[in-house]
Structure formats: structure tokens, C-alpha cells
Amino acid sequence: MTVPLSLEKQAFELDAADPQPSRRAEFCVPPFECRDGEGVAACEAAYMAGNSLGLQPKALRERLGTELDDWARLGVEGHIEARRAWLPYHELLREPAARLVGARPEEVVVMNSLTINLHLLMVSFYRPTPDRPAILIEDSAFPSDSYAVRSQAAFHGLDPDTAVIRLAPRPGEAALRTEDVLAYLAAHGSRIALVLLGAVNYFTGELMDIDAITAAGRAAGVVVGWDLAHAAGNVPLRLHDSGADWAAWCSYKYLNSGPGSLGGVFVHERHLTDRGLPKFAGWWSTDPRTRFEMAPTVTPVDTADSWQVSNPPIFAMAPVLVSLEMFDETGMAALRAKSVRLTGYLESLLDEVCAGRQAGVITPRDPDRRGAQLSVRISDRDVGPVTDRLRQEFGVYADARRPDVIRLAPTPMYNTFHDCWRAATALAEVLDD
Ligand SMILES: Cc1ncc(COP(=O)(O)O)c(C=O)c1O
């Protein structure tokens, strides 16, 4: 080791003393062969990629087995007779999902994938007029959001290049300043139909000020939606109280529900009884009490369920339920407190690694302005090989956002201080070459 990083012993001591122990043993952590003085000693990866795809809870295999068994045993009768009846299965997810995002149960539904949900919600909440045609997003929005809003503008007959406004950070800065978003809304809000921002930016890890931006948007008559892909299960949320009009998230990142797993949707209660909102409908939009009367028209319900379209996939909901149970057990407050400690520790180690190199953390320094993720800009090389070597040689999973950023996210559910130490020391070795 050529960089005098803090002692490994200290990382172990931090783990031993932490009031919120890691639940790592309850997850399938990718294996990694570690060597010690005696030869190969089996050990696990330091998995810092939970901001991309969370790890598999061990409890899931048995839960999926239950659903498979019920299907095998009951066939179609599983809709009623399965141990967790399939017809109302999605209702099992409602309350824990609402707790997770700080919503009322009726404001939340788990369904579809994230970008599909963005579209379904924009059917209702992007209503451009000649005076107010624009959608405001952040310049570093995740591409799927960018494509979605551009296609929505085009769908309404507008030119996406003018209808979609991309708000960029100040020159030389990586993160958007809240005051700049507020100032933009105050100056140009009258032209904006919809604001759609990532609550935690996928690239920089910046946590936006949801309350302040929502309030400013609504004061300007703008509909405010949030993409919570990197926020759900990462930071505490209080969507209802924030007054946000709507939000959508995925559950394959911090929510550990598996690749491509189902998303969630929040619609503020003030919209739930608005019969004037356009929606795309299907048989799961209608009132379940009369669904099987097979009527030709929808009987509306006054919950977020009315944005559902199709009957929900049970094998995709089971992982979300397992995950939400784990989040309920630990609680977002405890997870967040641990997250702040882990990320702060990793930040201090990364600062040591970056000192004197053409590298530095671009995520905001204030713990209130970020979640678990730290993004590191490395200016003197292609970052692709950096993350390849981290994984292959050191068992450290991070990801590269080319050309020059790597992302590391110590997730409080299963990462340890020792993982942070491994990640930082491995990065130091790779950057030394
Ligand atoms: C911020 C953000 N929005 C949208 C998406 C796309 O999600 P999906 O493929 O589930 O539609 C992602 C995926 O990582 C994301 O990070």
C-alpha cells in the first residue's frame, strides 16, 4: 500500500461499535477469492453498486417458492386461495411502500417499471397549453427520463428541443444549486407545465431539496413530479407533506427487489378524486368490487390504484414485498443514520486517495444534500478499466460513468465500514498504476 490510508483495524472497530449492525448475512453477496498468508481464503465482494442493482435477500428464494408452489397446487384458484391471495396481492405492498416514501396508503401503488410509470403519470400530469408548454428537467437527468419527456412533448405535437428545458449547474460546478432551481421557477414558471427532477441525481448523487422546489413550483402554478429511482430506500422521504403532485421510483436499486423489478407510484391525495384527469385505463383501473361484472366502462376508485392498467405479476411483487418487510423491520431513520456514517467515512478515505491526484469527489459535501452514493471524477484516465480492475483484482464493485466518473454507494442495509476501507484502498492501488 503506497497511500497512508486509515488503518484497516479502525474499519473493523467502526463495524463492531456501530449501533445499527449490517444485515449483510441476510443477503447473497457475490463471492470473491481473497488471499491471505496461507493461500486462498474465501470471502465476499465489497459491493458498492447497490445504487445500480441491490443484492438479493436470502429470504426471497423461499418466498418465490411459496408462490410457485401455490400456482402448482392451485392453478387459477390461487387468485383466491393462495396463501397470499393473488387478486389483492398488490394491497400487501401498499402500506409498507407508503411508509417508505412518507405517503398515505391510498396515494401509493406498486406496478410496472419506472419509465412506463413516468409515461402513465405524464398522461395525467403533463397537460401543455400554448402559454405553458414546457417541461423542466435537470441537464444530467437519467437518459430514460430525458427520452420520456421528449417523447411526451412530441406526442403533444410540440418540438422537444424547445418544449424540454434542461437546467444545468453553474459553470465549473457538478451539482445543481437549489437557489438556482428556485430562481428559474420564479422567473420562468409561467411557461412551465411540469417539473420532473431526480430527487437524488443518478450521476452526482446530489439530493435535491424536495420541499423547497415543490413549494416553488406549485407557487408558480407548475405540476411537480419526482423521479425517486435513487432516492427510494436511500433517503427518508415525506412525499405527502412535501405537497409533490406525483412521483415514481424503481425497486431494483436500494430496494433490492431484483433486476427490472416493479416500480412504485405516488399521486398526492388532492388528485385522487379528480375525475377530470386523463388516464390510460385497463381492467385493473376499475373498482375491484365490480371488476368481474365485466362492464364496458371503468368504475373509478379514489386511490392511486386507478393508475393501474394490467393485473400485477405475482412473481415480481414477491421480491418487493420481501424487501419492504426488511425496510419496515430496520426503519428508514436507522438506515439513514447508518448511511450518513458510512458515506462520511468513505468520503474521508476517498479524500485521502484523491489528494495529489487528478481526482475528487463531486457529490455535495453536506450530508443533507446527498444519499449513500459518492461520485468521484478521475480526470487523468478512462474510468472503464478502473472499475474493471477494482472488481477483478480487489472484489470491489463500483461502476463507471464514462468518460470520467466512478460511483460508489455504501448501502446501509448490507455494506460495512470495512467495505468502504476495501474500496478506498483498492482505488488507491489502481490509481497508483
Ligand atoms: C433516475 C432513473 N430514471 C429512470 C430509470 C429507468 O428505469 P426503468 O428501466 O425501470 O424504466 C433509471 C434506471 O436506472 C434511473 O436511474
Question: Cα separation of 168 and 174, whole Å?
Answer: 9
Write down the pLDDT at residue 1: 43
Regions of the chain short of the pLDDT cut 70: 1-5, 36-42
Longest dimension (CA), the chain: 73
Q: How far apart are CA 72 and CA 256, in angstroms?
A: 26
Contact partners, residue 344, CB within 8 Å, separation at least 6: 367
pLDDT, position 37: 67
- Distance from residue 280's CA to the centre of ligand 1 (Å): 21
Q: CA torsion sign, 334 to 353 to 253 to 83?
A: negative
Instruction: Indicate the top mutation candidate among 116, 150, 250, 262 to test ligand 1's pocket, ranked by most ligand atoms within 8 A of CB.
Output: 250
The DSSP code sequence of 139-198 is TT--HHHHHHHHHHHHHTT--HHHHEEEEPPPTT-SS--HHHHHHHHHHHGGGEEEEEEE
User: Residue 6 has what pLDDT?
Assistant: 72
Q: 147-168: per-residue pLDDT in tens?
A: 999 999 999 999 999 999 999 9
Residue with cell 450530508: 367
Q: Best of 118, 202, 254 to mutate for ligand 1, by most ligand atoms within 8 A of CB?
A: 202
8 A C-beta contact, residue 399 and residue 391:
no
What is the Cα–Cα distance from 67 to 72, expressed in whole angstroms? 9
CB-based contact 198:219 (threshold 8 Å): no
Question: Quick one: pLDDT at residue 2?
Answer: 43
CB 197 within 8 A of CB 169: no
Return the bridge partners of 110, or none: 264
What separation in Å is there between the alpha carbon of 403 and the centre of ligand 1?
Answer: 20
- Tell me, using a 6 A CB cutoff, whether residue 145 lines ligand 1: yes
- Cβ–ligand 1 distance for 229 under 6 Å, the answer yes
Q: Is the CB of 226 under 6 A from ligand 1?
A: no
Q: Which atom of ligand 1 is nearest to the CA of 141?
A: 1
Q: Which three cell numbers stand for residue 306?
A: 386507478
52 lines ligand 1 (CB under 6 A): no
Cα–Cα distance for residue pair 309/112, rounded to 1 Å:
9
CA of 430 to the centre of ligand 1 (A): 30
Q: Give the position of cell 431526480.
A: 198
Q: Is the CB of 252 under 6 A from ligand 1?
A: no
Query: Which residues pair with residue 405 across a beta bridge?
Result: 377, 401
Residue 114 CB–ligand 1 contact under 6 Å: yes
Nearest atom (ligand 1) to Cα of 52: 14
* CB of 365 closer than 8 Å to CB of 227: no
Strands 192-198 and 396-397 turn out to be unpaired
Please indicate whether residue 144, judged by its CB atom, sits closer than 6 Å to ligand 1: yes
Ligand 1 center from residue 249 Cα (angstroms): 8
Look at the chain and count its residues.
433
Strand order from edge to edge, sheet including 263-267:
108-111, 263-267, 246-249, 223-227, 192-198, 134-138, 164-167
Pocket flag, ligand 1, residue 141 (CB < 6 Å): no
Burial class (CB in 10 A: 0-12, 13-18, 19+), 381: middle
